[in-house]
Structure 1
Amino acid sequence: MRQRFCVHGLRALVRAVAKACQQCRNRRATPNPPEMGRLPAERLSAFTHPFAFTGVDYFVPFDVVVGRRHEKRWEVVFTCMTIRAVHIEISPSLSTDSFLLVLKMFISRRGVPRQIISDNGTNFRGTSRILADEIERLSSDALVRKHPEIEWAFIPPAAPHMGGAWERMIRTVKAVLMDILPKSFLREEVLRAALADVENIINMRPLTYIPLDSYECEALTPNHFLLGNSSGIREKDDFDAGMPTLSENFRAAGDLADRFWRRWIREYLPGLTRRAKWFENPQAPIAPDDVVIIVDENAKRNRWTKGRVLDVIGGSDRQIRSAVVKTSSGLVTRPVVKLARLDLKSVNPTAEHGVRGGGNVSAQ
């Protein structure tokens, strides 16, 4: 066009036409993540027993040799939301029955958690319903005191970032396993022993800064809360100190736990509350009746589903975190980071730039 015509303001007109094109606006639409929320109470609950607040998830299965057969074994990772300790179990399948047995083994070793947080897997949903029915059945029985109710919380669908506390631990477990496991002919007992070793290694990792100039004070680790020290090996001085009385032992154990928790508050907690971003100007959140496009990493962008927001779900800080969207296939709940709001304003670029009909140049 520039070789044949001299058009004043052509560059601005082309930008205005592209800006007014609804298809171009849809293609450029991106999600607007809300400001990071405050840390949940379970991340800051000092002086609670380990795994009182637990996140749980599965990760990719391993092929094991059983006799002459090859079978799959899934690994289930339980993560303490407060002290960042991990507990690993093996499950033969993804069914609800298998997870119930895994949960029973976890509770037998680590105690009954107050709250379990997970994604919306069918085995997790089924287990939460079974536990709720069991508690309701025992509500009039004295045995209910031995079966305290477990609160089960679910993150929104398609929002793995909201389970980052245990997703990061799964990544650490996988990184260690890939280095130590054989590439083929893996037996189940070898896998079980390797997982126990990986669990201990991860629970020995430092939670706080490691002092390099002084070796007198070691960094705080999850094992300090689980075993009393980082490695679980009792020092020789513990046996040479004489035979204290029962009351002295009880008092010393309580003082030791309190000392670790005071270090947790002084050294680890300040690092959790630090924010290094979220200083931009806040943008208007998604609201009901907004038309959005749902981000789907498993599909091409031109096949992403469009829908209309029916309701929004906010957090304790009044930030909109997820929304209920009506699509052609029904209602879905998605986090805000997976919803791109479409700009449906009607713009006439030719009128804005004074281009009239009948001339040599057309906005088309």
Structure 2
Amino acid sequence: MLNCQSEVFHEEICRLRNGEEINRKSFLFKFSPYLDQIGLLRVKGRIDAAEGVAINVKRPIILPRKHDVTRLLVDFYHRKFHHHHNEIVVNEMRQRFCISALRTLVKECAAKCQTCRNRRASPQPPQMGDLPMERVSPFTRPFTFTGVDYFGPMDVVIGRRREKRWGALFTCLTTRAVHIEISPTLSTESFLLIFKQFVSRRGVPKRIISDNGTNFRGASVLLVKEIERISSDDIERKYPAIEWIFIPPASPHMGGSWERMIRSTKSILMDILPDSGMREEVLRAVLADIENILNSRPLTYVPLDSAEDEALTPNHFLTGHSSGIRELTDNTNSGSALRQNFKISSQLADQFWRGWVKEYLPCLTRRAKWYQPPANPIKLNDVVVIVDENSKRNSWPKGVVIDMNFGKDGQARSAVVNTVNGLCTRPIVKLAKLDVEVEKRGVNVMHKTA
């Protein structure tokens, strides 16, 4: 400390040794400094009368703020208190030292601490991507592009025993219509039976998007094998191959289309389901009622043409009416009446789709969050920590990014991370970049775009 003070306050120390007053323009003038018996600069305070108080509290040692010794002392106290509570560090140091702007210096030290930076590391989400083609494809049959997920379980009463049932929710990504089925298990075989019921009522979808559930993975493989086994010209024309797309693991924001519908379904179920359970047929009727309620919800606030007209709903594309019940205006069974009704239905469908383009599609333009690209995006060979909301932060796994998947806008959307437990794929919003570098040892890393 003597060398530290002599380097910065050399002129003041020389004056004090010669018995002279220090310059009034000096930084130390207001501290009334003096030299103790070993030559340290101390503050001549006003609390010498206090008994039982250490000399360092009464007359603290003066240290320059921008010297390396001062920074090392602050770093020592910062580590001594385990990188927490800057105010404790400030309080402890003030009992021994007099340092100008000490609180700011402690904050600067904490900001530069590598351990603290790793602890505070948080994901930097990329700019919200453009909506996929499945969300903005007008004049297509409902459920041409479908998202699917499970919810539950729900208790049902069968005789004297209680069993669990799950709900399988299919949602049209374009019209936002929903279709709900009951599943006795979460197996692939059970899902295939549910999927067959869905196709029989809503038609064969062109593309299905889901998360990485094992039942969906199994269903995708089985569907491909089944189509290959029974393929013929007639069947291929009637049931074209279904494209199945899986979103990255632990990325519910990429499946918001069906996650939001499941939330609405659960909200209604919470008000309906009794605590004692219900019969399976009652649960089936309840889910059918919920399906109709969700399909009757307005996609927009009010129609643009007239406030008296009804707002556009998914039921308009399914049944031609917002309530799902279409009134018959003509009971004639003649061919001309049927042709006339067919023309009216076609005109109504075109009218609904024009309303969808004019009223609903503009509502999807603005981003709800993640407005700008990150300033420091994740790159190959970056060391990252994988965010897991279901575990404590100090147990989150760390790894090195070895591969990245990019969207059409050129921004990274997911990455393959090499951890001690193997490779895993996670979305960028679940990866927090650490301010460390990984040593390159001739590893050939491929740069993947999609």
- TM-score over 0.5 (shorter chain): yes
- Go from structure 1 to structure 2 and tell me whether the alpha carbon gap of 1:142 and 1:258 turns closer, same or farther (over 3 Å shift): closer
The structural deviation recorded for 1:111 is 0.2
The one of 208, 222, 239 aligned to 2:330: 239
The structural deviation recorded for 1:19 is 2.6
1:225 maps to 2:325? no
Give me the whole-angstrom Cα distance separating, in 2, the residues matched to 1:96 and 1:136: 18
The structural deviation recorded for 1:253 is 1.6
- Go from structure 1 to structure 2 and tell me whether the alpha carbon gap of 1:276 and 1:99 turns closer, same or farther (over 3 Å shift): closer
1:92 maps to 2:158? no
Is contact 2:303–2:312 with CA below 8 Å preserved after alignment?
no
Once the two structures are superposed, residues 95-131 of structure 1 have per-residue CA deviations (whole angstroms, 9 ceiling, x without a partner) of 0000000000000000000001000000000000011
Give me the whole-angstrom Cα distance separating, in 2, the residues matched to 1:166 and 1:320: 23
1:210 maps to 2:289? no
Give me the whole-angstrom Cα distance separating, in 1, the residues matched to 2:372 and 2:193: 47
1:23 equivalent in structure 2: 115
The structural deviation recorded for 1:148 is 1.5
1:2 maps to 2:91? no
2:4 equivalent in structure 1: none
The structural deviation recorded for 1:25 is 0.9
The one of 258, 267, 270 aligned to 1:175: 267
The structural deviation recorded for 1:63 is 0.8
1:44 maps to 2:132? no
Amino acid at match of 1:337: V
Give me the whole-angstrom Cα distance separating, in 2, the residues matched to 1:83 and 1:47: 10
The one of 324, 327, 331 aligned to 2:423: 331
Q: Which has the higher contact order (CA 8 A, sep 6+)?
A: 1
1:352 equivalent in structure 2: none
Structure 2 matches for 1:155-304, cutoff 5 A? 155-210=247-302, 216-235=308-327, 238-239=329-330, 244-275=336-367, 277-280=369-372, 282-304=374-396
Once the two structures are superposed, residues 42-99 of structure 1 have per-residue CA deviations (whole angstroms, 9 ceiling, x without a partner) of 0001000000000000011111011111111100000100010000000000000000
Give me the whole-angstrom Cα distance separating, in 1, the residues matched to 2:351 and 2:268: 31
Give me the whole-angstrom Cα distance separating, in 1, the residues matched to 2:181 and 2:161: 22
Quick check: 247-256 or 84-93, which moved more?
Answer: 247-256
- Go from structure 1 to structure 2 and tell me whether the alpha carbon gap of 1:311 and 1:213 turns closer, same or farther (over 3 Å shift): closer
Is contact 1:286–1:312 with CA below 8 Å preserved after alignment?
no
Give me the whole-angstrom Cα distance separating, in 1, the residues matched to 2:303 and 2:244: 39
Is contact 1:315–1:321 with CA below 8 Å preserved after alignment?
yes
Identity %: 67
Q: Which runs of 5+ in 2 are unaligned?
A: 1-92, 438-450
1:306 maps to 2:306? no
- Go from structure 1 to structure 2 and tell me whether the alpha carbon gap of 1:276 and 1:200 turns closer, same or farther (over 3 Å shift): closer
The structural deviation recorded for 1:10 is 3.7
Amino acid at match of 2:330: F
Quick check: 334-343 or 146-155, which moved more?
Answer: 146-155
1:152 maps to 2:241? no
Amino acid at match of 1:194: V
State the secondary structure of the residue aligned to 1:245.
helix
State the secondary structure of the residue aligned to 2:330.
helix
- Give TM-score, length-normalised by structure 2: 0.73
The one of 404, 409, 412 aligned to 1:320: 412
Give me the whole-angstrom Cα distance separating, in 2, the residues matched to 1:22 and 1:165: 40
Quick check: 130-139 or 277-286, which moved more?
Answer: 277-286
Is contact 2:387–2:396 with CA below 8 Å preserved after alignment?
yes
2:164 equivalent in structure 1: 72
Quick check: 2-11 or 104-113, which moved more?
Answer: 2-11
Give me the whole-angstrom Cα distance separating, in 2, the residues matched to 1:118 and 1:70: 30
The structural deviation recorded for 1:276 is 5.2
Quick check: 61-70 or 12-21, which moved more?
Answer: 12-21
Quick check: 167-176 or 206-215, which moved more?
Answer: 206-215
The structural deviation recorded for 1:309 is 0.4
Is contact 2:129–2:409 with CA below 8 Å preserved after alignment?
yes
- Go from structure 1 to structure 2 and tell me whether the alpha carbon gap of 1:233 and 1:280 turns closer, same or farther (over 3 Å shift): closer
Give me the whole-angstrom Cα distance separating, in 2, the residues matched to 1:31 and 1:112: 39
Is contact 2:292–2:324 with CA below 8 Å preserved after alignment?
no
Is contact 2:155–2:163 with CA below 8 Å preserved after alignment?
yes
- Paired residues in the alignment total 344
1:362 equivalent in structure 2: none
Is contact 2:416–2:424 with CA below 8 Å preserved after alignment?
yes
1:103 maps to 2:213? no
Once the two structures are superposed, residues 219-262 of structure 1 have per-residue CA deviations (whole angstroms, 9 ceiling, x without a partner) of 111110000111133336x2389964343222222111101100
Give me the whole-angstrom Cα distance separating, in 2, the residues matched to 1:212 and 1:146: 39
State the secondary structure of the residue aligned to 2:381.
coil
Give me the whole-angstrom Cα distance separating, in 2, the residues matched to 1:234 and 1:327: 57
The structural deviation recorded for 1:8 is 4.1
2:153 equivalent in structure 1: 61
Give me the whole-angstrom Cα distance separating, in 2, the residues matched to 1:46 and 1:80: 12
Give me the whole-angstrom Cα distance separating, in 2, the residues matched to 1:260 and 1:127: 34
- Go from structure 1 to structure 2 and tell me whether the alpha carbon gap of 1:307 and 1:68 turns closer, same or farther (over 3 Å shift): same
Is contact 1:221–1:230 with CA below 8 Å preserved after alignment?
yes
The one of 205, 217, 222 aligned to 1:125: 217
